[in-house]
Homo-oligomer: A and B are copies of this chain.
Amino acid sequence: MQVGMIGLGRMGANMVRRLMRGGHQCVVFDKDPEQIHRLTAEGAVGTGSLDDLISRLTPPRAVWVMVPAGDATEAIVEAIAQRLEVDDILIDGGNSYFKDDVRRAEALRARGLHYVDVGTSGGTWGLDRGYCLMIGGHRSVVMRLDPIFKTLAPGRGDVERTKGRDRMDGTAEEGYLYCGPAGAGHFVKMIHNGIEYGLMQAYAEGFDIFRHANSKRLSENMRYDLNLADIAEAWRRGSVVGSWLLDLTAAALTENPDLSNFTGSVQDSGEGRWTVMAAVEEGVPAEVLSASLYTRFRSRQDHTFAEKVLSAMRYQFGGHVEKADR
């Protein structure tokens, strides 16, 4: 089917490619003409403006917005919504906050427009591996877009079937899922990323303990000379901790066992924060997901003010003068 794609960055461009491979017609726009030219050369229909893009789509239209979350999304959603006509569909494939989806869906509904939120996992690997899609909106509207989702999704592949799945309907085994009304897609994606933070942190702490076990400072019965890349590699087969993230860790450690090419300053996107907020709003104890987020906060500071408060108290009560022992 035909789909408009706005935002041809790392994610959007590859999604267009995968869609074209699946036989869909992609009408594309980006603020950077270079990106448009590149995809036009690969078969997409390039456009020069939002108006142009809208005019080249046959109603009822499906316009997919794939821009970084935040203000950009808000502005573009608004700009497109103003150009759409009754029964057109606007799809937000970025990492929006699910409460924003609820609000936008209501605003668009008032104008006869449909809003669909799609959480997309797969990163730069998605072009070949497929994108895991978590989808929110009205079921009937989402159904209309099924050919697109089916193409973008990984499909069943050779993953071993879960026992009991043969008695169940739906597209989950294809790697895409209708999750519920507006916001449900991004809600599921949000928690997906929250879990991702936790998984990453679990590996990270474990390898940190390995790393320190190689330290000269430890007593002899604690000290080893462990090969971290080999450990990660060995675990990829047959162990309980096998995962795609472990595969990546093995690759990184094979490339550079000291990871000396990384400063250790770790960004966080909105989802990790929203996950903690959702847990707090729901009253769910989410220690691990929170701790994973806080590690990232901490990683971006030289020292927290909290640490200075600790030092200050220690100085006051015991005359302790802290020495840096880095």
How many residues of A are in contact with the other chain, CB < 8 A? 158
Pick the contact of A305 from B121, B122, B207, B281 — CB < 8 Å?
Answer: B207
Which of A19-27, A45-53, A76-84, A243-251 sits within the interface?
Answer: A243-251
Which residues of B are found within 8 Å of A236, using beta-carbon distances? Answer: 159, 162, 175
A308 to B208, CA, bound (A): 9
* Closest CB in chain B relative to A139 CB, distance in Å: 12
Structural contact, B317 and A295, CB atoms closer than 8 A:
no
Structural contact, B218 and A124, CB atoms closer than 8 A:
no
Which single residue of chain B is at the shortest CB-CB distance from A157? B237
Structural contact, A226 and B285, CB atoms closer than 8 A:
no
Structural contact, B266 and A314, CB atoms closer than 8 A:
yes
Structural contact, B284 and A170, CB atoms closer than 8 A:
no
Pick the contact of A179 from B125, B205, B206, B231 — CB < 8 Å?
Answer: B231
Which residues of B are found within 8 Å of A235, using beta-carbon distances? Answer: 121, 132, 192
Structural contact, B318 and A124, CB atoms closer than 8 A:
yes
Structural contact, B130 and A313, CB atoms closer than 8 A:
no
Which residues of B are found within 8 Å of A311, using beta-carbon distances? Answer: 259, 262-266
Structural contact, A212 and B284, CB atoms closer than 8 A:
yes
A191 to B132, CA, bound (A): 30
Majority SS at the chain A contact face: helix
* Closest CB in chain B relative to A223 CB, distance in Å: 9
Indicate with 1 or 0, residue by residue over A117-130, a CB within 8 angstroms of chain B CB atoms. 00001111110011
Structural contact, A160 and B273, CB atoms closer than 8 A:
no
Which residues of B are found within 8 Å of A87, using beta-carbon distances? Answer: none
Structural contact, A280 and B285, CB atoms closer than 8 A:
no
Which single residue of chain B is at the shortest CB-CB distance from A231? B188
Q: Which of A296-323 contact B (CB under 8 A)?
A: 296-320, 322-323
A179-B224, A290-B290, A295-B307 given. 5 additional CB < 8 A pairs?
A: A155-B237, A188-B210, A204-B310, A265-B322, A267-B323
Closest 4 CB pairs of A and B: A198-B202, A264-B303, A243-B243, A175-B237
